[in-house]
Chains A and B, each alone.
Chain A
Amino acid sequence: MPSPHLKTVRLQADALVIGGGTAGCAAAWLLAEKGLEVIVLEKAAIERSGCLAAGVNAVNAWIAPGREAADYARYALEDAHGIASWGLLLSMSARLGEAVGFLDRLGVPFHRGPDGRYVSRSWRNLKINGGDIKPALASCLKDRPNIRVVERVHALCYLAESGRGGEGALARPARICGAAGLRLNAPELVAVEAPAVVCATGGAAGLYRPNNPGRSGHKMWYPPFNTGGGWAMGIFAGAELTTLEMRFVALRLQDTAAPTGTLALGQGARQVNALGEDYEPRYGNTTSQRVLAWRAETEAGRGPCAMRAGPLDLPARRALTRSYLHMSPMQALKFLEGEAAAEEAAAAAAAGAGAASGAGNGHREFSFQIEGTEPYVIGGHTASGYQVDESRATTLPGLFACGDAAGGAPQKYVSGALAEGFIAAEGAALYLAGLRGKADRPPGDAPADARTPAAGPLEAGEGALASLTLSRLERLLEGFASGPAPAYGPEDLEEAMQKAMDLYAGGRGSGYRYGLEGLREAGRRVLGIWKLAFALKAETPRSLSRIWELLERLAVARHLIAHLAERTETRWPGFGEYAGHPGPDPALELFINSRLEAPPFVPPEDFGRHPPMMLRRSLADSRILDGPRPSLAEGGQPGPLFPGPAVPGEGAPSGEGA
């Protein structure tokens, strides 16, 4: 598949949404409602893509009558041990009811009581039959004349207009104005020009060695198809990312990574150790403390730990199995197989005793071993992702982010991702209106401010950087298409990366612990693998996509390592532990942000020699929590791994919390 045979197809729209998962569908729908022409680029197919492929059995971000948005925001901020943006959380929380209503109108079956009200599991959880939630959500984009969904296209890089004022094509971009992607089923590059872009690509799985072995490696909690691609695009375009070091480790039923909350909230199940002790109260009740509880009990030799519920009668067991069929078919299969085997055993025992069977209807205890997953980076559960302001604008003009791709606002779940999709769409629409307003004005009248440049949508003669990026991309892809193939493939390099991250950047294999020298080693290995990746060869668009996914993960891993090294404390003990820095450091109640200077736009072969990554600290906007507040004067240290001039408060026009 030599690159000369890669045909470049150009499309145009008012707004481009990258990723048609939960947040992306909401964003595209609202942009279209506002009368804008929308293109959705989707790596798979929106009917089942993203986190909701298998479904979900609860809406975990909801606010019961009598509670307020601030209650939810406070819960999320406390669960994040203070590192989250109050403003972002509040703006998301205020839209949760609207998001739930949106799903309801699309036909997602909510459980209702006799009075017609939603059946809730707590003040912030609703039960749903969500096995088909994604097709229902995707249906909001169907048959709309101003939405074009382009599927099986892997977005590779942003297109941007270069800054004016003679800074040259490599200056920080004036604004993002589209993206280019690779068609997976045809030798075609798709270049979409759109003056507003919403990134909804999700978070990153597969940075660390997966829990499940070998051929079961993809049986993980987070979608293995989410590679952090949207962040990689942002990194190479010079966007600022925040709080990557707040990794997420999910405490799940062993093997299938099915949720424990269904058992805990639905059946009152508790975590117990091998001695039968209910150990949870010893560790606290934030998400990360619950993971710590499992790890500490196991390390103390009191494992295996399990979620124990019951004894449950047959109807209760059936209902529980159905609830798992709505989001974790593998776990449901495990239930069904286990039930069938138990019934047979009971029948055999009864037959042996000469008595009639019927044991299958009896009460039975449900006990399932639990474990922590490998770490993921994901803005829907933690605060990792693009640095955004309250309109979900990133630090790059024209680029917005929402859902798992957007940072600062943890505990989004499905409804929060939808809420952010709405907010990002409104932000993008306002931005477009601003661009148009300026374009309509007489020349010279428009002030040259960085957020809304004095230019209309991309026209002929403009977009110098966009053209440069496209031709660089074509050249880069050509390099992957010609010449002799090395003795290794992208899967081998992925393994090497996952091993390095597992050993030295706090994977499950090292008890989620890391130290500075180990992080340095992980950084060296990641850059070594990066160099090897540039020798890879692809014969089909599909295999080229596989190489690109590796580059995406490596780029995110490199930034993640720098973030981990910068946060010299242990704030989320279940998610990771910085050796030699036990416990939280009050001086680090800060956001840690990073970005590349002199953005190369496409993955650079000499990433290791690339100008330094900027690390920036900014005040965490946790104004409702008590305790001493750090001052910015204490921040601003150069990062210990990739030192560059760290400039507190500089360079982030959106600067949420700065």
Chain B
Amino acid sequence: MSVVFEPSLCVSCGRCASVCPGTLLEAGDGRPARILFPDDCWGCASCLKACPRRAVRLTLPPALGGLGGLLSCGREGGRLVWRLERPGREPADFPGDPEGEGGY
């Protein structure tokens, strides 16, 4: 378990496959993207940040304490906006930092 693709959202742009540091994804030629080697995924979320349509989501396996939620990532004005989707709940958006602000 690692990243989950939603074929209905995928526009087959191939960005996810072009950035994957493990060469694990297949995309393009009009077919929706998919992960060829799900067990090899590192969980780095590079594909989430590359996807223009939130068509790929990260999930944490139960063996690692995951509760079934899905994390996706979009960009608004150069800033990353993360989204948590949980079964039966409204999605919750979580904006990333404005530039140079941290506070942790």
Residues of A within 8 A of B (CB): 43-45, 47-50, 53-54, 57, 109-112, 119, 127, 129, 131-132, 152, 184-185, 212-220, 223-225, 254-256, 262, 266-267, 315-316, 318-323, 325-326, 329-330, 332-334, 336-337, 340-341, 542
Contact = CB atoms under 8 A, between A and B. Distances in A.
Contacts of A316: 103-104
B99 A44 contact: no
B34 interface: no
Contacts of A542: 23
B60 to A, nearest CB: 5
Contacts of A217: 39
A322 B61 CA distance: 21
Contacts of A47: 18-19, 46
Contact of B41 (A131, A184, A218, A254): A218
Given A49-B21, A256-B64, A266-B104, A333 B44 contact: no
Interface string B39-62: 111111110111000000011110
A330 B99 contact: no
B69 interface: yes
B64 A214 contact: no
Given A334-B64, A340-B69, 16 more contacts: A44-B23, A48-B46, A53-B21, A54-B45, A119-B102, A214-B39, A218-B2, A219-B2, A219-B61, A225-B21, A266-B104, A322-B96, A332-B71, A333-B69, A337-B69, A340-B92
A216 B63 contact: yes
A333 B66 contact: yes
A112 B96 contact: no
Q: Is the interface of B mostly helix, strand, loop or mixed?
A: loop
Contacts of A131: 49, 80, 96
Interface residues of B, number: 46
Contacts of B19: 45, 47-48
A319 B49 contact: no
Contacts of B82: 325, 332, 336
Contact of B94 (A53, A110, A185, A336): A336
A184 B23 contact: yes
B99 A218 contact: no
A110 B23 CA distance: 30
B6 interface: no
B84 A319 contact: no
B31 interface: no
Contact of A320 (B39, B42, B94, B104): B104
Contact of B60 (A223, A315, A330): A330
A185 B58 CA distance: 25
Interface in B76-104: 80, 82, 84, 86, 89, 92, 94, 96-97, 99-104
A315 B103 contact: yes
Residue among B48, B58, B60 with the highest chain A CB neighbour number at 10 A: B60
29 contacts: A44-B20, A44-B21, A44-B22, A47-B18, A47-B19, A53-B21, A53-B44, A110-B100, A119-B102, A127-B104, A129-B102, A132-B49, A184-B23, A215-B1, A218-B39, A223-B42, A224-B40, A225-B21, A255-B64, A256-B60, A262-B104, A267-B104, A319-B104, A325-B82, A330-B60, A333-B60, A333-B66, A336-B69, A336-B71
